Amino acid sequence: MKELDQDRPPAQEQRSPAGPDGTADEKADEKEKKKERRKKFFSRLAKVITGFVVVSLTATEAMMFILFGRSDPVMDKPFGLAERAAAGGLRVRTLEFMSGANRLKGYVILPEAPRALMLAVHGVRASSDALEPVIEYFVRQSYAVMTFDGTASGRSEGSRTVGLQQQRYDVRAALAWIRQDPQLNGMPLVLLGHSAGAYGVAAETPASGAVASVCVSGFDSPLGTMHYWAEHYAGALTNVEYPFLWIREHAAKGGDANVSASRMLTSCGVPALVVHGSADEVIATQISLYQALQEHPGANVSTLFISDPRHRGHSDILVADSGLNTALLDRISAFLSPYVPGGRAYLTGERRLDAPHGF
């Protein structure tokens, strides 16, 4: 038996077929490890992307709140011009209307035999008080003037605005109020806006029924303006964050998110005058409504570039510490005159336009 055992060939070890990289089991283990590494990589990448998106959206909301949150409490002082006008014998109406969920406070000053109604609209972080001398000028030119404090401004309600589009919504609400008012609805209507108010006027001109519009120191597009401002402070990082602003604005406002003011003006045929200052420190020339119209002019739109050193900035283009820019207001009045009835100057004689408490 022993010899038979010796003659029997030795038993072969049971081995798995080998490949160039080792055994099949080793290859399977390596595949699993690679798969696990890929899974961990993409899991970490997803977390980083999610974190970046959350931080970016949070930063966008914080930026919007800082830029467009209410800066001052509701004003409790009266609108001085309305009081002076009433004391001077003019008819003054105090009014309220809703813009979205907020109640806005406004005023109408009516001279004797008004030639037209002017809706005067202020800009961001301002109130109707900023336009007092301008309103007084046009009342003296026999315009009835309606003005109001925008959302989250002056005497009106609101903890914040929705952004640079807010003045457009407020103008739309003011126009709706005018249409339902029997005293004002029959008058020829002209619109005048400054800064974001100019954007609101331009964007709403086509549907306003106005015979003419004037836009001073306005921007062309809300998102383009916010991108420019952000780039000034954050540099190249702005281009990384801008898509989140774009998504946020379009999700919140839809088709109103980035309407071009210049296109709205040139498409409607309503006569318009667009004015900009050569040293505007808020709405730089390259993002202005004025510049957009240089590149895409309209036959119905006239433009005026102001280089007077006393009145070429953003806040001083209409009214500066040195006084009212009567030269510009005279130009605006001359522009409007062909589109409104003649009327008559309400105040004549020795009372000057720049006299304090002139009414």
Question: Residue 4 — pLDDT band, cuts 50, 70, 90?
Answer: very low
Rounded Cα distance between 193 and 218, Å, is 8
pLDDT at 236: 65
Range of lowest pLDDT (41-45, 151-155, 274-278): 41-45
Which of the two residues, 50 and 299, has the higher pLDDT score? 299
Q: Which of 24-28, 73-77, 83-87, 294-298 is most confident? A: 294-298
Structural domain includes residue 242: no
Q: Give Rg (Cα) of the chain.
A: 33
pLDDT at 162: 82
Q: Does the structure show a pLDDT above 50 at 301?
A: yes
pLDDT at 217: 98
Q: Residue 176: helix, strand or coil by DSSP? A: helix
Structural domain includes residue 95: yes
Report which secondary-structure segment, H or E, holds 146.
strand 143-148
Q: What is the pLDDT of residues 10-48, one digit of tens each?
A: 555 454 454 455 577 777 778 888 888 888 877 787 777
Tokens 């002019």 identify what position?
Answer: 297
Q: What are phi and psi of 138, to 5 degrees?
A: -75, -25
Which of the two residues, 250 and 284, has the higher pLDDT score? 284
pLDDT at 40: 80
pLDDT at 336: 97
pLDDT at 347: 37
Burial 173-184, CB ≥16 within 10 A → b, else e:
bbbebbeebeeb
Which tokens hold the place of 132? Answer: 């007092």
Range of lowest pLDDT (35-44, 61-70, 145-154, 318-327): 61-70
pLDDT at 73: 87
Q: What is the pLDDT of residues 172-229, one digit of tens each?
A: 999 999 999 999 998 999 999 999 999 999 999 999 999 999 999 999 999 999 888 8
pLDDT at 109: 97
Q: Does the structure show a pLDDT above 50 at 111?
A: yes
Query: What CATH number is given to the structural domain containing 307?
Result: 3.40.50.1820
Which tokens hold the place of 41? Answer: 């990589």
Q: Does the structure show a pLDDT above 60 at 3?
A: no
What average pLDDT does the segment 300-320 reach?
A: 95
Give long-range contacts, CB 8 A cutoff, 24+ apart: 95-99.
95/146, 95/148, 95/177, 97/148, 97/173, 97/174, 97/176, 97/177, 98/173, 99/150, 99/151, 99/169, 99/170, 99/172, 99/173, 99/174
Structural domain includes residue 318: yes
Q: Which domain holds residue 141?
A: 69-221+259-339
What average pLDDT does the segment 328-342 reach?
A: 94
Structural domain includes residue 233: no
Structural domain includes residue 36: no
pLDDT at 61: 56
Structural domain includes residue 244: no
What average pLDDT does the segment 274-297 reach?
A: 97
Average pLDDT, the chain: 85
In this prediction, what percent of the chain has a pLDDT beyond 70? 81
In this prediction, what percent of the chain has a pLDDT beyond 90? 59
Structural domain includes residue 184: yes
Which tokens hold the place of 167? Answer: 């003045």
pLDDT at 355: 34
Alpha helix locations (H) across the chain? 2-7, 24-68, 80-87, 132-140, 166-179, 196-208, 222-234, 237-253, 261-268, 289-295, 326-336
pLDDT at 170: 97
Strands 102-110 and 143-148: antiparallel
Q: Provide the number of structural domains found in the chain.
A: 1
Task: Read off the pTM.
Answer: 0.80
Structural domain includes residue 320: yes
Range of lowest pLDDT (4-13, 72-81, 260-269): 4-13
What average pLDDT does the segment 145-165 reach?
A: 93
